[in-house]
């Protein structure tokens, strides 16, 4: 799960900032909401969201001229 740096506020306007691990921004907002805060902004640590990597066979990446020319 990516780690998000966030800013949030409660109903009294008290601001809180910090970092939490969450599946996505929606999940992060839910975690903060349960604590009585509303998400104001969030950014993934490093600035790039993690992308789930697909498993694949190395043979699926190999391309040869002979296989491209065969009918």
Q: Are 2 and 49 in contact (CB under 8 A)?
A: yes
Phi, psi of 26, rounded to the nearest 5 degrees: -65, -45
Closest CA to 25 of 46, 4, 11, 54: 4
Give the mean pLDDT of the chain. Answer: 79
Per-residue pLDDT, 45: 85
Please give the tally of structural domains in the chain: 1
Residue 67 lies inside a defined structural domain of this protein: no
Per-residue pLDDT, 62: 54
Per-residue pLDDT, 52: 45
Cα distance between residue 60 and residue 56, in whole Å: 7
Residue 31 lies inside a defined structural domain of this protein: yes
Residue 61 lies inside a defined structural domain of this protein: no
Range of the domain at 17: 1-47
Residue 20 lies inside a defined structural domain of this protein: yes
Residue 5 lies inside a defined structural domain of this protein: yes
Mean pLDDT over residues 2-19, rounded? Answer: 95
Per-residue pLDDT, 50: 46
pLDDT digits (tens, 9 = 90+) for 37-68: 999 999 998 765 444 444 445 555 555 555 55
Here the contacts of 12-21 (C-beta below 8 Å, separation 24 or greater) are 15/40, 19/45
Mean pLDDT over residues 17-46, rounded? Answer: 95
Residue 68 lies inside a defined structural domain of this protein: no
């Amino acid at each position: 799960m990516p780690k998000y740096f966030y800013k949030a506020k409660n109903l009294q306007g008290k601001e809180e900032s910090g970092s939490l691990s969450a599946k996505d921004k929606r999940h992060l907002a839910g975690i903060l909401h349960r604590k009585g805060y509303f998400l104001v902004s969030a950014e993934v640590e490093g600035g790039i969201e993690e992308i789930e990597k697909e498993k694949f066979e190395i043979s699926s990446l190999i391309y040869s001229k002979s296989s491209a020319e065969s009918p």
